[in-house]
Structure 1
Amino acid sequence: MEMRAVSKYIRISPTKARLVADLVRSKPLGEALTILKYTPKKGARYIGKTLRSAMANAENSRVMDMDNLFVKNVHVDEGPRLKRWRPRAMGRATRVIKRSSHITVVLEER
């Protein structure tokens, strides 16, 4: 049995979030939370929030034992991009792409 949580439209680049996701993949739940707590990256806050949501889903379903949970999978997909323009020299403009992410955390029982 597995429990999942999804956070959508998070304003962080998927590449930056994947760096943090690789740290906690296939770790026990307590260890993953500790790693995210002490990781000084913006993605750690969002992935931690999604991980705690999946943990709450597992706790409220009352089918899974909280002591035996581990992070089965964390994947970060690309969300929609915001396209903005920045003025440049001689009347030109360049495009600035602001990326977003969809974060999915899957917990499973050992």
Structure 2
Amino acid sequence: MEAKATAKYIRISPQKARLVVDLIRGKKVDDAREILNYSRKRSGQIVGKVLKSAFANAVQNPNIDEKILFVKEIFVDQGPSMKRWRARAQGRAASIKKRMSHITVILDEK
């Protein structure tokens, strides 16, 4: 039985979030939490919240044994980009894309 949680429109670059997501894919939930707790990346906290939410969703189902849950799927999709401008020399402007992410976690029993 699967449990799923999604966080959308998170203001972090998908490239940076994927660095942390790749660390916990396929791991048991307890191990994944430990990895995220000691991660020094900002996206570690964000992914940790989504993992915690997916775990809470799993616990709601009485048929699921929470001790054998693992991260079946976890992925980061790109959301919309906010376009901003930075002033440059001689009256020019350079565009800046502030990217957003959609983070999805799916837990399952082993």
Matched, 1:39 2:39: yes
Per-residue displacement from partner, 1:29-51 (whole Å, max 9, x unpaired)?
10000000000001111110000
Q: Which residue of 1 aligns with 2:4?
A: 4
Count residues in correspondence: 110
With normalisation by structure 2, the TM-score equals 0.98
Deviation >2 Å, runs of 4+: none
Query: Counterpart of 2:39 in 1: which secondary structure?
Result: coil
Measure how far apart 1:101 and its partner are.
0.1
Residue aligning to 2:77: 77
The alpha carbon displacement at 1:61 in A equals 2.2
What's the Cα RMSD here? Answer: 0.6
- The letter for the 2-side match of 1:68 is I
Q: Which runs of 5+ in 2 are unaligned?
A: none
Q: Aligned with 2:74: secondary structure?
A: strand
Separation in 1, partners of 2:32, 2:66: 14
1:24 pairs with 2:24: yes
Shift of 1:63: 2.4
Query: Which residue does the alignment assign to 1:13?
Result: 13
Identity %: 54
Q: Match for residue 91 of structure 1?
A: 91
1:65 is the counterpart of 2:90: no
